[in-house]
Amino acid sequence: MDVHRINTGGGTPLSMTTAKVLVVDDEQDLCEILRFNLESEGFEVQTCEDAEEALALMSGETHWHPNLILLDVMMGEMSGFEMARRLRSAGNDTPIIFLTARDGHDDQLTGFNCGGDDYITKPFSFDTVLARVKAVLKRTHSQADAPQSADTAEGVLHCGGLTVDTRQQSVTVNGTAVELTRREYMILCLLAGNQDKYLSREEIMVAVWPNDTLVNDRSVDVHIARLRKKLGAEGRRIVNRTGFGYALRRTATGN
């Protein structure tokens, strides 16, 4: 059993109590535990034991559209990574949080590159899952009315002279390759996928250092300072606003 404890309720439900969550995991017991706890928090929950069943649920006659997907990685014939790729290729931008025992850095990077919004490694506590679900729903809800870049091809993010190719895991500035560390790249992907939206240090830490209890605000600041320097003039697009966090601006500033 991967969940450390069962939360039997008593917490403050989200204001978006009608939010629908799809749990996809081949461990039936885990599915039921997550269903019980999430329903106790006011969510509507559906569970599937493999990716094929989940895709059928979302595209079949029921057309059940979740607001968020909790997705295992290692399942049957189709992995969670492949399911995420198929959803993104079909234009489906439903937020995805991966739940998996695969805790390597490369696995986490793959998860973000194939469209994941967050990555939680097993074993985990339900409190952690609930906090991540709330954070992702809050972030994506606030982005719902934000204008989207017209200069974005599938798997390629553009912002001025900056190009992030998530398929090749490469970054260029005005056509010149830029070498980034894994963490710097993950931060840039996160910012580039949420242009003109401020992400708090906590949101960045959760996405880039999901299981590192030693990381702090200073770690985020240091990595972003290095990232700005490596991006040269385009680094001025990464701005900080006190109390809000960091954002990648479509219009470069002098800051």
Asked if the structure places residue 255 within a domain, the reply is no
Band of residue 212 on the pLDDT scale cut at 50, 70, 90: low
CATH number of the domain where residue 58 is located? 3.40.50.2300
Do both 170 and 235 map to the same domain? yes
Q: Is the same domain home to 120 and 166?
A: no
With a cut of 50, say whether residue 9 has pLDDT above it: no
Global confidence as pTM: 0.56
Mean pLDDT (whole number) for 31-49: 93
**Per-residue confidence at 17, pLDDT binned at 50, 70, 90?**
low
Residues 136 and 168 placed together within one structural domain of the fold? no
- The answer to whether residue 190 scores a pLDDT higher than 60 is yes
| Range name among 3-12, 48-57, 72-81, 92-101 with the lowest pLDDT average | 3-12
Residue 71 lies in a domain: yes
pLDDT at site 254? 54
CB under 8 Å to 12, separation ≥6 — which residues?
none
Task: Give domain status of residue 48, yes or no.
Answer: yes
Per-residue pLDDT reduced to its tens digit, 145-180: 444 443 444 578 889 899 998 878 889 999 999 999
Q: Which domain holds residue 132?
A: 20-143
Q: Is residue 6 part of a domain?
A: no
Nearest alpha-carbon partner for 100 in 24, 203, 20: 24
Q: Are residues 130 and 170 in the same domain?
A: no
Does pLDDT of 6 surpass 60?
no
Residue 51: φ, ψ to 5°: -65, -35
| Residue spans of alpha helices (H) in the chain | 28-40, 51-59, 80-89, 105-113, 126-143, 182-192, 201-208, 217-231
**Last-in-domain residue among 120, 143, 166:** 143
pLDDT at 57 over 80: yes
Let me know if residue 107 belongs to a domain. yes
pLDDT band per the 50, 70, 90 thresholds, residue 61: low
How many domains are contained in the chain?
2
Residues 191 and 236 in one domain: yes
Q: Is there a single domain that holds both residue 114 and residue 221?
A: no
